[in-house]
Amino acid sequence: MKHTFVIGASQGIGLEFVRQLLNNPEVELVFATYRNKETATGLLNLAAQFPQKLITLSMDITQEDEIEKTIQQIKEQVKELHFVINCVGILHEGDLQPEKSLRQINAQQLLRYFEVNSIGTALLAKHLMPLLRHRSRAIFATISAKIGSIGDNRLGGWYGYRASKAALNMFIRTTAIEYSRRCPKTIVVALHPGTTDTKLSEPFQKNVPPEKLFSTEKTVSQLLTVIHNLVPEHNGEFFSWDGSFLPW
Ligand SMILES: NC(=O)c1ccc[n+]([C@@H]2O[C@H](COP(=O)([O-])OP(=O)(O)OC[C@H]3O[C@@H](n4cnc5c(N)ncnc54)[C@H](OP(=O)(O)O)[C@@H]3O)[C@@H](O)[C@H]2O)c1
Protein backbone atom coordinates (compact mmCIF):
# COMPACT_ATOMS: atom_id res chain seq x y z
CA MET A 1 0.00 0.00 0.00
CA LYS A 2 3.00 2.38 -0.26
CA HIS A 3 2.34 3.77 -3.75
CA THR A 4 -1.31 3.79 -4.84
CA PHE A 5 -3.18 4.79 -8.00
CA VAL A 6 -6.92 5.51 -8.17
CA ILE A 7 -8.42 5.91 -11.64
CA GLY A 8 -11.77 7.75 -11.85
CA ALA A 9 -11.32 9.66 -8.60
CA SER A 10 -13.36 12.81 -9.31
CA GLN A 11 -16.45 11.63 -7.46
CA GLY A 12 -18.35 8.63 -6.10
CA ILE A 13 -16.50 5.48 -5.05
CA GLY A 14 -13.15 6.62 -6.54
CA LEU A 15 -13.10 9.89 -4.58
CA GLU A 16 -13.82 8.00 -1.35
CA PHE A 17 -10.94 5.58 -2.08
CA VAL A 18 -8.66 8.62 -2.27
CA ARG A 19 -10.00 9.97 1.05
CA GLN A 20 -9.46 6.67 2.87
CA LEU A 21 -6.01 6.10 1.35
CA LEU A 22 -4.94 9.61 2.41
CA ASN A 23 -5.90 8.72 5.99
CA ASN A 24 -3.90 5.47 5.93
CA PRO A 25 -0.40 6.04 7.39
CA GLU A 26 0.95 3.02 5.42
CA VAL A 27 0.23 4.89 2.18
CA GLU A 28 3.00 7.27 1.06
CA LEU A 29 1.61 8.48 -2.27
CA VAL A 30 -1.79 8.56 -3.93
CA PHE A 31 -1.92 9.22 -7.68
CA ALA A 32 -5.50 9.97 -8.72
CA THR A 33 -7.12 10.76 -12.07
CA TYR A 34 -10.05 12.95 -13.03
CA ARG A 35 -11.55 13.81 -16.43
CA ASN A 36 -13.31 17.16 -15.93
CA LYS A 37 -12.21 19.85 -13.49
CA GLU A 38 -15.91 20.80 -13.03
CA THR A 39 -16.83 17.44 -11.44
CA ALA A 40 -13.50 17.06 -9.62
CA THR A 41 -13.68 19.91 -7.10
CA GLY A 42 -13.70 17.51 -4.11
CA LEU A 43 -10.54 15.80 -5.40
CA LEU A 44 -8.77 19.05 -6.28
CA ASN A 45 -9.55 20.44 -2.79
CA LEU A 46 -8.01 17.32 -1.24
CA ALA A 47 -4.90 17.81 -3.40
CA ALA A 48 -4.56 21.34 -1.99
CA GLN A 49 -4.84 19.92 1.56
CA PHE A 50 -2.39 17.03 0.98
CA PRO A 51 0.16 18.44 -1.50
CA GLN A 52 2.90 15.96 -0.44
CA LYS A 53 0.73 12.84 -0.59
CA LEU A 54 -1.87 13.33 -3.36
CA ILE A 55 -0.94 13.87 -7.01
CA THR A 56 -3.84 14.50 -9.40
CA LEU A 57 -3.61 13.81 -13.11
CA SER A 58 -6.16 14.43 -15.85
CA MET A 59 -7.06 11.45 -18.02
CA ASP A 60 -9.95 10.22 -20.15
CA ILE A 61 -9.92 6.42 -20.04
CA THR A 62 -11.09 6.15 -23.66
CA GLN A 63 -7.90 7.87 -24.94
CA GLU A 64 -4.91 5.51 -24.99
CA ASP A 65 -2.44 8.38 -25.52
CA GLU A 66 -3.74 10.01 -22.30
CA ILE A 67 -3.34 6.72 -20.40
CA GLU A 68 0.25 6.42 -21.66
CA LYS A 69 1.03 10.03 -20.74
CA THR A 70 -0.44 9.66 -17.24
CA ILE A 71 1.49 6.47 -16.56
CA GLN A 72 4.66 8.11 -17.87
CA GLN A 73 4.13 10.96 -15.35
CA ILE A 74 3.80 8.36 -12.56
CA LYS A 75 6.96 6.55 -13.76
CA GLU A 76 8.88 9.82 -13.46
CA GLN A 77 8.10 9.81 -9.71
CA VAL A 78 8.08 6.14 -8.63
CA LYS A 79 9.43 2.83 -9.90
CA GLU A 80 6.69 0.66 -8.35
CA LEU A 81 2.96 0.76 -7.69
CA HIS A 82 1.48 -1.44 -4.94
CA PHE A 83 -2.25 -0.79 -5.23
CA VAL A 84 -4.17 0.21 -8.36
CA ILE A 85 -7.96 0.53 -8.43
CA ASN A 86 -9.98 1.50 -11.50
CA CYS A 87 -13.27 3.11 -10.43
CA VAL A 88 -14.30 4.46 -13.86
CA GLY A 89 -17.70 3.40 -15.14
CA ILE A 90 -20.87 4.65 -16.81
CA LEU A 91 -24.47 3.44 -16.60
CA HIS A 92 -26.02 6.64 -18.00
CA GLU A 93 -24.35 9.58 -19.73
CA GLY A 94 -26.36 12.37 -21.40
CA ASP A 95 -28.83 10.66 -23.74
CA LEU A 96 -27.29 7.25 -23.08
CA GLN A 97 -29.64 5.34 -20.77
CA PRO A 98 -29.67 1.62 -19.90
CA GLU A 99 -31.83 -0.36 -22.37
CA LYS A 100 -34.96 -2.03 -20.95
CA SER A 101 -35.56 -4.04 -24.13
CA LEU A 102 -33.96 -5.09 -27.43
CA ARG A 103 -36.02 -2.37 -29.15
CA GLN A 104 -33.77 0.21 -27.46
CA ILE A 105 -30.48 -1.36 -28.58
CA ASN A 106 -28.28 1.12 -30.41
CA ALA A 107 -24.81 0.26 -31.76
CA GLN A 108 -23.24 3.62 -30.86
CA GLN A 109 -24.45 3.35 -27.25
CA LEU A 110 -23.15 -0.20 -26.97
CA LEU A 111 -19.74 0.91 -28.24
CA ARG A 112 -19.69 3.72 -25.66
CA TYR A 113 -20.41 1.28 -22.81
CA PHE A 114 -17.61 -0.98 -24.00
CA GLU A 115 -15.03 1.76 -24.52
CA VAL A 116 -15.53 3.19 -21.01
CA ASN A 117 -16.46 0.12 -18.94
CA SER A 118 -14.38 -2.64 -20.54
CA ILE A 119 -11.58 -1.48 -22.87
CA GLY A 120 -10.26 1.15 -20.43
CA THR A 121 -9.20 -1.52 -17.94
CA ALA A 122 -7.46 -3.58 -20.65
CA LEU A 123 -5.47 -0.49 -21.74
CA LEU A 124 -4.53 0.24 -18.11
CA ALA A 125 -3.38 -3.36 -17.64
CA LYS A 126 -1.23 -3.05 -20.79
CA HIS A 127 0.51 0.19 -19.79
CA LEU A 128 0.80 -0.47 -16.03
CA MET A 129 2.75 -3.70 -16.39
CA PRO A 130 6.22 -2.12 -15.85
CA LEU A 131 5.07 -0.49 -12.60
CA LEU A 132 3.55 -3.73 -11.30
CA ARG A 133 6.56 -5.95 -12.12
CA HIS A 134 8.48 -5.98 -8.82
CA ARG A 135 9.10 -8.06 -5.70
CA SER A 136 6.51 -6.60 -3.33
CA ARG A 137 2.85 -7.60 -3.00
CA ALA A 138 0.65 -5.58 -5.36
CA ILE A 139 -3.04 -5.41 -6.26
CA PHE A 140 -4.58 -4.48 -9.61
CA ALA A 141 -8.33 -4.18 -8.97
CA THR A 142 -11.22 -2.87 -10.99
CA ILE A 143 -14.74 -2.07 -9.90
CA SER A 144 -17.03 -4.33 -11.89
CA ALA A 145 -20.68 -5.10 -11.03
CA LYS A 146 -22.62 -8.23 -10.09
CA ILE A 147 -24.96 -7.36 -12.95
CA GLY A 148 -22.09 -8.33 -15.28
CA SER A 149 -22.22 -11.91 -14.00
CA ILE A 150 -23.60 -14.15 -16.78
CA GLY A 151 -24.34 -16.98 -14.33
CA ASP A 152 -26.31 -14.66 -12.04
CA ASN A 153 -28.41 -12.95 -14.75
CA ARG A 154 -32.06 -13.72 -14.03
CA LEU A 155 -33.67 -10.30 -14.61
CA GLY A 156 -32.44 -9.32 -18.08
CA GLY A 157 -32.39 -5.71 -19.33
CA TRP A 158 -29.52 -3.19 -19.24
CA TYR A 159 -27.88 -4.94 -22.22
CA GLY A 160 -24.96 -2.58 -22.74
CA TYR A 161 -24.00 -2.13 -19.09
CA ARG A 162 -24.30 -5.87 -18.36
CA ALA A 163 -22.36 -6.93 -21.45
CA SER A 164 -19.63 -4.33 -20.92
CA LYS A 165 -19.12 -5.51 -17.31
CA ALA A 166 -19.08 -9.17 -18.48
CA ALA A 167 -16.39 -8.17 -21.02
CA LEU A 168 -14.52 -6.32 -18.26
CA ASN A 169 -14.59 -9.49 -16.17
CA MET A 170 -13.07 -11.46 -19.05
CA PHE A 171 -10.34 -8.83 -19.46
CA ILE A 172 -9.58 -9.12 -15.74
CA ARG A 173 -9.45 -12.92 -15.77
CA THR A 174 -7.24 -12.95 -18.88
CA THR A 175 -4.96 -10.22 -17.49
CA ALA A 176 -4.60 -12.23 -14.28
CA ILE A 177 -3.25 -15.19 -16.28
CA GLU A 178 -0.70 -13.06 -18.17
CA TYR A 179 0.27 -11.12 -15.03
CA SER A 180 0.90 -14.40 -13.16
CA ARG A 181 3.83 -14.86 -15.57
CA ARG A 182 4.96 -11.24 -16.04
CA CYS A 183 4.05 -9.58 -12.70
CA PRO A 184 3.80 -12.62 -10.40
CA LYS A 185 3.43 -10.63 -7.16
CA THR A 186 0.37 -8.76 -8.47
CA ILE A 187 -3.09 -10.06 -7.58
CA VAL A 188 -5.65 -9.08 -10.25
CA VAL A 189 -9.32 -8.97 -9.21
CA ALA A 190 -12.77 -7.66 -10.14
CA LEU A 191 -14.87 -6.25 -7.27
CA HIS A 192 -18.62 -5.71 -6.90
CA PRO A 193 -19.22 -2.72 -4.57
CA GLY A 194 -22.90 -3.29 -3.76
CA THR A 195 -25.48 -0.62 -4.60
CA THR A 196 -23.84 2.63 -3.53
CA ASP A 197 -25.26 6.13 -3.29
CA THR A 198 -23.49 7.90 -6.18
CA LYS A 199 -24.36 9.82 -9.35
CA LEU A 200 -24.34 6.51 -11.25
CA SER A 201 -27.04 4.79 -9.13
CA GLU A 202 -29.01 7.95 -8.26
CA PRO A 203 -31.79 7.61 -10.91
CA PHE A 204 -32.35 3.93 -9.97
CA GLN A 205 -32.43 4.08 -6.15
CA LYS A 206 -36.25 4.21 -5.73
CA ASN A 207 -36.75 0.49 -5.19
CA VAL A 208 -33.57 -0.14 -3.20
CA PRO A 209 -34.28 -0.77 0.51
CA PRO A 210 -32.31 1.76 2.61
CA GLU A 211 -30.20 -0.96 4.28
CA LYS A 212 -29.08 -2.16 0.81
CA LEU A 213 -28.00 1.31 -0.37
CA PHE A 214 -24.47 1.84 0.96
CA SER A 215 -22.76 5.19 1.50
CA THR A 216 -19.48 5.56 -0.38
CA GLU A 217 -17.70 5.47 3.04
CA LYS A 218 -19.22 2.07 3.85
CA THR A 219 -18.57 0.64 0.36
CA VAL A 220 -14.92 1.67 0.32
CA SER A 221 -14.16 0.44 3.83
CA GLN A 222 -15.80 -2.92 2.94
CA LEU A 223 -13.82 -3.16 -0.31
CA LEU A 224 -10.56 -2.25 1.46
CA THR A 225 -11.19 -5.16 3.86
CA VAL A 226 -11.66 -7.51 0.89
CA ILE A 227 -8.47 -6.12 -0.71
CA HIS A 228 -6.52 -6.43 2.55
CA ASN A 229 -7.47 -10.13 2.78
CA LEU A 230 -6.43 -11.04 -0.79
CA VAL A 231 -3.83 -13.80 -1.17
CA PRO A 232 -2.07 -14.97 -4.37
CA GLU A 233 -4.61 -17.82 -4.85
CA HIS A 234 -7.27 -15.12 -5.38
CA ASN A 235 -5.60 -13.92 -8.58
CA GLY A 236 -8.23 -13.66 -11.35
CA GLU A 237 -11.31 -13.88 -9.11
CA PHE A 238 -14.51 -11.83 -8.89
CA PHE A 239 -15.46 -10.74 -5.35
CA SER A 240 -18.50 -9.17 -3.81
CA TRP A 241 -18.27 -6.38 -1.16
CA ASP A 242 -18.58 -8.94 1.66
CA GLY A 243 -15.64 -11.02 0.43
CA SER A 244 -17.76 -13.79 -1.13
CA PHE A 245 -16.89 -15.16 -4.59
CA LEU A 246 -19.25 -14.22 -7.44
CA PRO A 247 -19.96 -16.50 -10.40
CA TRP A 248 -18.64 -15.29 -13.76
N1 LIG B 1 -22.93 2.99 -7.49
C2 LIG B 1 -23.33 1.74 -7.60
O3 LIG B 1 -24.39 1.34 -7.07
C4 LIG B 1 -22.50 0.73 -8.34
C5 LIG B 1 -22.91 -0.63 -8.33
C6 LIG B 1 -22.14 -1.56 -9.03
C7 LIG B 1 -20.99 -1.15 -9.69
N8 LIG B 1 -20.61 0.18 -9.69
C9 LIG B 1 -19.40 0.54 -10.41
O10 LIG B 1 -18.58 1.30 -9.55
C11 LIG B 1 -17.71 2.13 -10.35
C12 LIG B 1 -17.73 3.55 -9.76
O13 LIG B 1 -19.03 4.11 -9.98
P14 LIG B 1 -19.68 5.21 -9.02
O15 LIG B 1 -20.91 4.60 -8.48
O16 LIG B 1 -18.66 5.76 -8.12
O17 LIG B 1 -20.14 6.28 -10.13
P18 LIG B 1 -19.83 7.82 -10.34
O19 LIG B 1 -19.96 8.56 -9.07
O20 LIG B 1 -20.68 8.21 -11.50
O21 LIG B 1 -18.27 7.81 -10.75
C22 LIG B 1 -17.86 7.34 -12.01
C23 LIG B 1 -16.46 7.84 -12.27
O24 LIG B 1 -16.09 7.43 -13.60
C25 LIG B 1 -15.50 8.57 -14.26
N26 LIG B 1 -15.60 8.45 -15.71
C27 LIG B 1 -16.69 8.20 -16.46
N28 LIG B 1 -16.35 8.16 -17.76
C29 LIG B 1 -15.02 8.39 -17.83
C30 LIG B 1 -14.07 8.47 -18.88
N31 LIG B 1 -14.42 8.34 -20.17
N32 LIG B 1 -12.76 8.68 -18.57
C33 LIG B 1 -12.38 8.85 -17.28
N34 LIG B 1 -13.24 8.81 -16.24
C35 LIG B 1 -14.53 8.59 -16.52
C36 LIG B 1 -16.31 9.74 -13.73
O37 LIG B 1 -15.64 10.95 -14.01
P38 LIG B 1 -16.43 12.34 -14.28
O39 LIG B 1 -16.59 13.00 -12.95
O40 LIG B 1 -15.52 13.07 -15.20
O41 LIG B 1 -17.75 11.99 -14.91
C42 LIG B 1 -16.35 9.37 -12.24
O43 LIG B 1 -15.13 9.72 -11.62
C44 LIG B 1 -18.22 2.02 -11.78
O45 LIG B 1 -17.41 1.11 -12.49
C46 LIG B 1 -19.60 1.43 -11.62
O47 LIG B 1 -20.02 0.70 -12.77
C48 LIG B 1 -21.34 1.12 -9.03
Give the pLDDT of residue 223.
98
State the Cα angle at 32 between 200 and 164, rounded to 5°: 40
Say what the pLDDT of residue 129 is.
Answer: 98
The pLDDT score that the predictor gives to residue 142 is 98
Domain membership of residue 245 (yes or no) is: no
Ligand 1 centroid distance, CA of 241 (Å): 17
Asked whether residue 185 is domain-assigned, the answer is yes
Is position 85 within any domain? yes
Q: Is the CB of 124 under 6 A from ligand 1?
A: no
pLDDT for res 110:
98
How much distance in Å is there from the Cα of 117 to the middle of ligand 1? 9
Residue 118 covered by a domain: yes
Report the atom number in ligand 1 closest to the C-alpha of 8: 43
- The total of structural domains in the chain comes to 1
**pLDDT value at residue 208:** 94
What CATH number does residue 41 fall under? 3.40.50.720
pLDDT score of 227 = 98
pLDDT one-digit tens code per residue, 80-97 = 999 999 999 999 999 999
- In angstroms, what is the span from residue 52 Cα to ligand 1's centroid? 26
- Laid out side by side, the sheet with 54-58 consists of 54-58, 29-34, 3-7, 83-86, 138-143, 186-191, 237-239
Q: What is the pLDDT of residue 122?
A: 98
In testing the pocket of ligand 1, which one of 65, 143, 200, 205 has its CB within 8 Å of the most ligand atoms? 200
User: Is 126 inside any structural domain?
Assistant: yes
Which residue's C-alpha comes closest to atom 12 of ligand 1? 87
Residue 216's pLDDT is what? Answer: 98
Quote the ligand 1 centre to 89 CA distance (angstroms). 4
Question: What is the per-residue pLDDT for 226?
Answer: 98
Query: What's the pTM?
Result: 0.98
Pocket of ligand 1, candidates 46, 90, 113, 117: which has the most ligand atoms within 8 Å of its Cβ, to mutate?
90
Counting as low any pLDDT under 50, the low residues of the chain are: none
Q: Is residue 248 part of a domain?
A: no
In a domain, residue 21? The reply is yes
CB of 13 shorter than 6 A to ligand 1: yes
Atom of ligand 1 nearest to the CA of 194: 5
In a domain, 220, yes or no: yes
Specify the residue with its C-alpha closest to ligand 1, atom 24: 88
CA of 39 to the centre of ligand 1 (A): 12
Ligand 1: atom nearest CA of 36 is 40
pLDDT of the residue at 194 = 98
In ligand 1, the atom with minimum distance to the C-alpha of 9 is 43
What range does the domain containing 178 cover?
3-240
Q: What string of H, E and C letters represents the secondary structure of the chain?
A: CCEEEEECCCCHHHHHHHHHHHCCCCCCEEEEEECCCCCCHHHHHHHHHCCCCEEEEECCCCCHHHHHHHHHHHHCCCCCCCEEEECCCCCCECCECCCCCHHHCCHHHHHHHHHHHHHHHHHHHHHHHHHHCCCCCEEEEEECCHHHCCCCCCCCCCHHHHHHHHHHHHHHHHHHHHHHHHCCCEEEEEECCCCECCCCCHHHCCCCCHHHCECHHHHHHHHHHHHHCCCHHHCCEEECCCCCECCC
Whole-number pLDDT of residue 242? 98
Look at residue 103 in the predicted model and tell me its pLDDT: 97
